[in-house]
Copies of this chain bind each other. A is one copy, B any other.
Amino acid sequence: MITSQEYRQRLLKMRRNVYMDGSLIGRDDPRMEGAVNIIAKTYDIVTDPNLEEYGDVLTATSHLTGGKINRFCNIHRSVADLLAKQKMTRIACHQVGGCIGRCMGIDATNANSVVSYEADQKYGTEYHKRFENWLRDFQENDRSACCAQTDVKGNRPWRPHEQLDPDLYVHRVETLSDGIVIRGAKVHNSYAPVVEWIPVIPTRRLVEDEGDWAVSCVVPSDAEGVKLIVSAAQINTHKNLGTPGPYGGADSLTVFDNVFVPWEHVFLNGEYELGGRLALLFALYHRHSYTGCKPAMTDVLMGASALMAECNGIEGKSHVGDKLAEMICTAELCYGTGIAAGINGEKSASGTYIPDIVYCNVSRRHAGINIYHEFDILADIAGGMPATLPREGDWENEETRPYLEKYMMRNPKVSVEDQHRAFRWVQDISCSDMAGVTQYAGVHGGGSPRMEQIAILGSYNMEKVKNIAKRLAGIPIKEKYSCDRLGTIPKL
C-alpha cells in the first residue's frame, strides 16, 4: 500500500490533459485540491491512528497474491467482504463529510471480474486472465480508479445504433492487430482527473446490432486521446477556522478521441449481451456502495442538524427530536438493508460475490428519494443563518469583527468561535455550489430512483405475490406456495 504522498506524486507525473473553464490545467490546480484530497484520504485512513480499530475493515487480503491491500482494490470473495466494503465506505465517507470517490473503481473492477469470467466460459476468450494480470498490478501498486459509464446518450428515446452520430455512445471504431480504438464521451465521470485508471464500460443493455458498443476496457487517465473537461466544486477553503480539507468533487466530461487500447486492457469486445450484463452489474455494485455512503451522508447532515440544534439552544425540543429520528431512520433503513444485501449475496462463477439486487436497489432508492428532504431538515433546524452569514473577511476586519462576535452569540454553552465554525461549515455543505452537487448526486449518483424502480420491478416476482392474494381470494391456482424474498440463513 502506498501513502497519500506517493499518490499525489503520481498525479504530478501525468500528462496534462485536464481542461477547466477555458484552460488546460495541471492536476495540482488549486480548484482540484478538494478532489485530490478526497482520494488522498483513502490512502491515509489505512494508517490513521484515529481509525486503528477499523484496520481489518479498511484493508483486505488479495485473493490473487495473499498480500495485504487497501480494500478499495479488493475483489469480494465472501459475504464478509461485501459487509466489510459497505462498512469501510461509511467510515471513509465520515472522514471527508461526503463522497469518498474511490468506490467507482472497486465497483467497476468487481463487475469486470465477474463478466470477464462469464465471457471466457461462454466464448473461450481470455478476458479474465487479462483482467487478473491487470488486477495484480492494480492491487500491488495500490492504484486508484474511477468508472466511465454514463454515455452522453444524445436523444434519449433512441438506442445507441439509432443516434444520428454513433459517437454519442462510446464505441469501438477500429480493430488493430494489437488492440482496439474507441471513440465517444462519458459524462458525470467523477474523479477521472485525480485517479490513475479509467475503466470504460457500457451504460445500458445492448441489442445484437450493437456489438461495437459492447466494449469493456481500462484506460490510463492521461492516455493519448483522452481529454478531461472538468467541472469541480469544493468546500472548506477557509483561512483561520481550522477546518480539514478542502474536500470536493471533480466531474469530467471525458472525451475519448480515437483512443487506442491494447489487448491486455480489453475485457469485453463485442459480446453485446454481456455488455448489458456488465452495465447492470456495475450499477448493482455501485448501489451496494451507496448502502454505505448514503447513510454516511445522512450521518453528516444529521450531525450538522444536531450541531445546529446545539448552537440554537433547542436540543431538547420535541420537533427537533422528531426530525433527527427521521434522519436516523433513513440512515439505518438504508444501511440495514445494505447488510441484508451482503448477507444474501451470491457467489458468481468467477468466485466473486454479488450482493442481492432487490436490497441494494430499495436501499439506494430510499436514499435517493430522501436526500432533498434531509437538506430540508438541516435548513429547518439551522434557521436562516447559513444563508445570510457574513463572509469570513468580515470576521477579520477589525471594524466589523466586534459586531459579529457580539451579535452571533446564541447558546451560551457554545463559544462564539465555535458557533462561527459551525454555521460556516453548515453554509459550506448546504448553501453552496457544492451543496447543489451533493443534492444532484444524491438523486442521480449510481442511478436515479427511477432506475432503481426499474431494477426492482424487473427482478421482483410479482406473480408469486399475486398468488398469495389469489389463494386467499379463493381463486384456484396450481402453483405451490413460494416466496422469493425470504432471505438466506447463513451458516454461522
Contact = CB atoms under 8 A, between A and B. Distances in A.
B336 A425 contact: no
A242 interface: yes
Contacts of A176: none
Interface string A405-419: 011111110000010
Contact of A324 (B394, B443, B457): B457
A134 interface: no
Contacts of A387: 188, 231, 251, 436-437, 440-441, 444
Nearest to A415: B475
A28 interface: no
A478 to B, nearest CB: 12
A365 B328 CA distance: 11
B474 A403 contact: no
A266 interface: no
Interface stretch (A65-73, A160-168, A193-201, A208-216): A160-168
B472 A425 contact: yes
B307 A466 contact: yes
Nearest to A90: B486
Interface in A140-191: 150, 152-157, 164-165, 167-168, 185, 187-188, 190
Interface stretch (A1-9, A112-120, A281-289, A295-303): A295-303
Say what secondary structure dominates the interface of chain A.
helix
B229 A394 contact: yes
Contacts of A489: 57, 80, 83-84, 87
Given A307-B466, A332-B358, A340-B336, A325 B375 contact: no
Contact of A340 (B156, B337, B473, B474): B337
Interface residues of A, number: 175
B473 A425 contact: yes
Contacts of A358: 328, 332
A349 interface: no
Contact of A312 (B156, B444, B476): B156
A21 interface: yes
A469 B307 contact: yes
A468 B313 contact: no
A222 interface: no
A323 to B, nearest CB: 11
Given A336-B341, A486-B87, A486-B91, A155 B80 contact: no
A206 interface: no
B476 A242 contact: yes
A422 B473 contact: yes
Given A227-B403, A476-B242, A492-B80, A50 B481 contact: yes
Given A91-B483, A469-B304, A230 B390 contact: yes
B303 A468 contact: yes
A348 interface: no
B487 A335 contact: yes
Interface stretch (A34-42, A123-131, A270-278, A377-385): A377-385
Interface in A424-467: 424-427, 430-433, 435-437, 439-441, 443-445, 448-450, 453, 456-457, 460, 462, 465-467
21 contacts: A22-B392, A80-B490, A165-B406, A187-B385, A188-B385, A227-B403, A243-B473, A251-B387, A253-B403, A300-B469, A319-B322, A328-B457, A335-B340, A336-B336, A376-B439, A379-B443, A384-B441, A386-B440, A387-B436, A430-B439, A490-B492
Given A19-B400, A23-B393, 20 more contacts: A20-B390, A20-B393, A22-B394, A78-B492, A152-B407, A155-B410, A165-B409, A244-B474, A299-B483, A303-B470, A307-B473, A322-B453, A328-B460, A329-B366, A333-B337, A336-B341, A373-B373, A376-B439, A383-B444, A435-B435
Lowest 8 CB-CB distances: which A-B pairs, in order?
A: A22-B393, A431-B436, A303-B469, A336-B337, A336-B340, A21-B393, A425-B473, A387-B440
